[in-house]
Amino acid sequence: MSATIKNTFLLFILFSASVFAQQNKWLDANLKETDQLNSVYYTIISSDASEENYFYKSGKIYRKFKYSSQKLSPKFSAIFSEFYETGALKVSGKYENGFKEGIWKTYYKNGKIKERGKYKSGEKVGIWKAFYKNF
Longest dimension (CA), the chain: 77
The domains of the chain are located at: 2-130
Q: What is the pTM of this model?
A: 0.77
50 Cβ contact partners less than 8 Å away, ≥ 6 residues apart: 66, 67
Q: For 103-125, what is each residue's pLDDT tens digit?
A: 999 999 999 999 999 999 999 99
Q: For 42-78, what is each residue's pLDDT tens digit?
A: 999 877 778 999 999 999 999 999 998 766 677 889 9
Report the CATH fold assignment for 2-130. Answer: Outer Surface Protein A; domain 3 (3.90.930)
Q: Give the helix, strand, coil percentages of the chain, each rounded to 5.
A: 15, 45, 40
Closest among 122, 125, 66 to 97, alpha carbons compared = 122
Q: Taking 90 as the threshold, does the pLDDT of residue 16 lie above it?
A: no
